[in-house]
A and B are shown apart, each in its own frame.
Chain A
């Protein structure tokens, strides 16, 4: 039987999505449901003096209005920070309380203060306008550098500093820098982004008054984790009385990891009002309250020798946390950032210093890549600048500093199990016709255009797992993943996974894996996810972990099914277990060539007997049935890597930047389904180009979000991109039996520096910040013209 792993299998998900039969949270309606509308702070920083609901309560259709006071009285807990980070001086990070409904203070525009439940959405909206809130408006601060000098937003958080974190050795770095021929310096802004999954957040809650169970349908990347947080920290209901279902979810990109205020409030309120509740975010609510991404200001330096050897690296970064620390908010700028900031290079000494600062803006958390795009942008801008300043070819300087042997003990934390960085960059150069660039540059120049080329080589630590490792770094939970494989009596198989698909195609790829392991057609396998009542506890999908952690749990559970099958088949065929071979779905007795299919064995496991004879196929010590589970906790992260090359052409008269060519060569180890992997890379590159050229989040000085709709926030469109040219190299991961590495975030990690290096090259080395909008580029072109005229 041909292996399904590695083949371009069409998706199982598509039939329903293409015919309008997908079932997203907003598609769910429950008889007798009420509609929730949240009353949100219009101020970025204010004391809440009084909330008056009396008039609104009398409005047509209103069922109930609840406020921060009621939720506090019911002792419902708030939102949490998932990782505890320590400062360089050993002190613990400062985390303020984040109640689901603000009672005394509002700290960003959009923070919910009260909620109206009404018979119709129109009535709820209209009543929400009648809730009167008396505020004392305070001076807001949105810029972290200013926040470090302003009044504390939260009591007891001096200088608005959550932590001042250090990874690495300052003394060793000083020594390395003292030996350098040259110090390359960059000052970078990693622009704040809004993830913008196309499906706005939503929740539908159903409270069963008889069983006292709450069912929450929600737009989550990790329903089990949501239930754990809501139960353990929110106290909304005991875990066994709370069912969380994340049905079809329309994209996440990190923004649907967190348990949000609305889910906690609606779950709590549904029990209180004994009615189902439906809440669907408007797009502007998503802009205001979904967690944002990036927002770093970094100064970084690279110590080099004249012949291009790297000796030392350091960065000083200020990260904007927003108003509150959320699930991955505190780890994103630290352990997901610092260790990757030395990139794919042998750099003997390094440190990464990050100050995380509270401001009156929406909370900042993981967004596709989380920390690793910021890290890659830092090191790859430095390396490109080093090549320019030293007059060494940008690819040659990279090759020179790549590790040539694996495992590679990276400078700060990780031991990278496998890779071949030289092969990746060589292949990218060839695919991009790197050698032919100067001719293309001349051709563009002849047409009055500026052409530039940029390279970026990256690695990243993903497949976020090893529980012992992440918990030692401050993670509040272990990041293993679970699977259960249920072989039903008639041969169909249900594979339960704790991972969650919101575009990742697990129903297809996980079925491919299980089909190969069990030797059955993919059609016989259903992958079930996204419901805490179905399957074992799981940690969910983020950090490119579904396949490398969740997929392996499925492999291991399948192996247990085969192992038990072997014992049963041996008894059925009346041979010893070691005389049985399992191949292509059949248990074969090697000597006699008698066989039993896995389906026959499964059937026998459920019907273990026969008429007229006392005989069971179940060996002594085994039980009937054929169900196995696995909790997989890998020994290491997964380390995809690669090299990307971009060419841009700039029209100096308009400042318009056109991405002319984009080549990506990635090493994801063994690939389960090339269609899916290519799709992930396309999407990641598009988001990265979006960051480099188009997207930016803008708050004004009073903390109003100026980019709160698609009229103001530039979402990349189809005509912003060329056709991406993808290639792959392959070194197997050694930390899992499939040899797979994560692929979901790589595109978004590698592409921003690739594009910016190309833009800066086209501008003759002039530094420019992201996003390189037409206005900025046009100004840079004018400055260039001026200096050229002067020189002439």
Chain B
């Protein structure tokens, strides 16, 4: 067992967990933050992407003990005072989601892209999203959402 202390969505949390606990499992099972989804066992689908110290990472392949002391933002921590983050707004406006399962990972991943590159081209967006799989949208409106958000962020 390991004791980990994190700041998750602005709140400090401290828990004893088995050493092999993944961040995705910790968020879902220990903190009940079920917006972070698990869609595969091999770190390809990207439904579990969250931000750790400002960078997008796949929480399914991160041991929570390895990031002791970090700041974590999940999909639940984006909206402020009931107002959606511009990326969430953009997904809504462009119909960038259907079943919603890949969406939290997509949103978290796309926000990180815009931090690195202010106005990415279509091709740059499509290449960045290589690590996020969506089966519903054909990605077209996801690309549109990222472009829309780029004008607001």
Contacts and interface: CB of A to CB of B under 8 A. Distances in A.
Interface of A: 10-11, 13-24, 26-27, 122, 196-200, 248-251, 253, 282-284, 502-505, 675-676, 678-679, 682-687, 709-711, 715, 717-719, 721, 723-724, 747
21 contacts: A17-B100, A20-B104, A21-B35, A22-B100, A198-B99, A198-B136, A199-B37, A200-B38, A251-B135, A683-B137, A685-B138, A710-B42, A710-B45, A711-B42, A717-B139, A718-B126, A718-B127, A718-B129, A718-B143, A719-B129, A721-B126
Contacts of B36: 20
A721 B93 contact: no
Contacts of A502: 99
A715 B79 contact: no
Question: Interface size bucket, B side?
Answer: 35 or more
B99 A199 contact: yes
Given A18-B91, A687-B135, A721-B139, A503 B127 contact: no
B45 A682 contact: no
A710 B132 CA distance: 12
Contact of B134 (A16, A18, A122, A198): A198
Given A198-B133, A250-B100, A503-B98, A15 B92 contact: yes
Interface string B45-89: 101000000000000000000000000001110110000100010
B140 A676 contact: no
A686 B101 CA distance: 17
- B interface, by DSSP: helix, strand, loop or mixed? loop
B40 A710 contact: yes
Chain A CB within 10 A, most for which of B33, B95, B100, B126 = B100
Contact of B138 (A10, A16, A284, A724): A724
Given A283-B41, A718-B129, A251 B35 contact: no
Contact of B129 (A10, A200, A687, A717): A717
B135 A196 contact: yes
B101 to A, nearest CB: 3
Contact of B44 (A711, A718, A723): A711
Nearest to A681: B138
A505 B95 CA distance: 10
Interface in B14-51: 18, 28, 33-42, 44-45, 47
A413 B118 CA distance: 56
A534 to B, nearest CB: 21
A718 B139 CA distance: 6
B130 A198 contact: no
A10 B99 CA distance: 15
B74 A504 contact: no
Contacts of B38: 26, 200
Contacts of B74: 20
B111 interface: no
Contacts of B107: 18
A20 B33 contact: yes
B100 A13 contact: yes
A676 B95 CA distance: 7
Nearest to A686: B138
A18 B88 contact: yes
Nearest to A368: B135
A21 B122 CA distance: 29
Given A17-B100, A17-B103, A283-B39, A679 B47 contact: no
A721 to B, nearest CB: 6
A200 B42 CA distance: 13
A14 B92 contact: yes
Given A10-B92, A27-B34, A709-B42, A20 B135 contact: no
Contacts of B91: 14, 18
